[in-house]
Amino acid sequence: MANENVRETTTSMPRFSIVTPTLNQVAYLSQTIESVVGQAGAFSIEYRVIDGGSKDGTVDVLRDWEQRLAGHPKVRFSWMSEADGGQAEAINKGMRQARGDILAFINSDDFYEPGIFQVVADRFDRYPDRLWLSGYNRIVDPCGRQIQRPIFWYKNFWLHLNSPAVLRVLNYISQPATFFRRSAYEIIGPFDEGLHLCMDYDYWLRLSKFSKPIILKRIVSNFRIHPGSKGKTAFCDQFDEELRVARRYGRGRTSIVLHKLHNDLIKAVYRYIKGSEDFDCQP
């Protein structure tokens, strides 16, 4: 459980600070932005998009949104575009400037469910001793249609158990569906910029040392698989990096052996699923 010194509530108009790292994802970026700034409820939103120097029209989209959101009473939108060292560095750039009570990052090809921020704020207020929250995450194709339903239910099964020991064996936390308090970020610090695929898993393991997450048993977000996504092209490398992360926090050989066995099984399943995927639509 969290130390009493980091108890925190989100009463009196909480502020969300959301960061979106992006690079050449103009086809999906506006839907991501809309899913953030279109949230309604008793809160304000501080939203930063950190672009790694895209050459596909991303900057034009960001300028357009900056104009559309100028003077918005509850949303403060900002962006920057410059070369960086990867996703974790981009996230850290945004987080260093964040001043909100509730923090999260969402990639520029994913999107939130409507109305979910108010649910998240209410749940944090209900559980003041918990530092973070995670919920269900739907996997979708380029057109936003749900795919990979067995994986969706598999991750939710382990999420319901909410066990730090299981988390060291497999990553059941869905990144887009996860939020954490400012006090958690102050304790844990920035994301590891030496990681390029599993910086989120490393962060969840660090957070789990201080607090179990609040489990929100409803769909929070949508994770998009498309021909250019890491989830489509780099899943084997992702699981290899995940195992290296697990070795940092494993308690004895057993958890590492189980993690490796699980990774080998999931890689085989993913090779079959992703080899048979045929996206018949364009965004």
Locate all alpha helices (DSSP H) within the chain, ordered by sequence. Answer: 26-37, 58-69, 87-97, 116-126, 149-161, 164-167, 182-188, 199-207, 230-233, 235-249, 253-276
Provide the CB-side half-sphere exposure for 135 (13 A, CA). 20
Mean pLDDT, all residues of the chain: 90
Please write the tens of the pLDDT for every residue from 172-193.
999 999 999 999 999 999 999 9
Categorize the per-residue pLDDT at 271 as very low, low, confident or very high, splitting at 50, 70 and 90.
Answer: confident
Residue range 16-28: mean pLDDT, rounded? 97
Structure tokens at 274: 């992703």
Residue written as token pair 């996860």: 178
Provide the pLDDT for residue 274.
60
Question: Any long-range contacts for 237-244 (C-beta under 8 Å, 24+ apart)?
Answer: 237/197, 238/197, 238/198, 239/263, 239/266, 239/267, 241/195, 241/196, 241/197, 241/198, 242/171, 242/197, 242/198, 242/201
| Helix (H) and strand (E) counts in the chain | 11, 8
Per-domain boundaries in the chain: 12-276
Overall fold of domain 12-276: Spore Coat Polysaccharide Biosynthesis Protein SpsA; Chain A (3.90.550)
Provide the pLDDT for residue 29.
98
Stated pTM of the model = 0.91
Please write the tens of the pLDDT for every residue from 130-139.
999 999 999 9
Q: Has residue 5 got a pLDDT over 50? A: no
Percent of the chain with pLDDT over 90: 77
Residues in the chain: 283
Residue range 44-50: mean pLDDT, rounded? 98
Categorize the per-residue pLDDT at 276 as very low, low, confident or very high, splitting at 50, 70 and 90.
Answer: low
Pairing between strand 132-140 and 178-181? antiparallel
Q: Distance between CA atoms of 37 and 75, rounded to whole angstroms?
A: 7
Please write the tens of the pLDDT for every residue from 89-148.
999 999 999 999 999 999 999 999 999 999 999 999 999 999 999 999 999 999 999 999
Q: Has residue 231 got a pLDDT over 60? A: no
Alpha carbon of residue 1 to chain centroid: 22
User: In this predicted structure, which of 15-19, 123-127, 145-149, 254-258 has the lowest mean pLDDT?
Assistant: 254-258
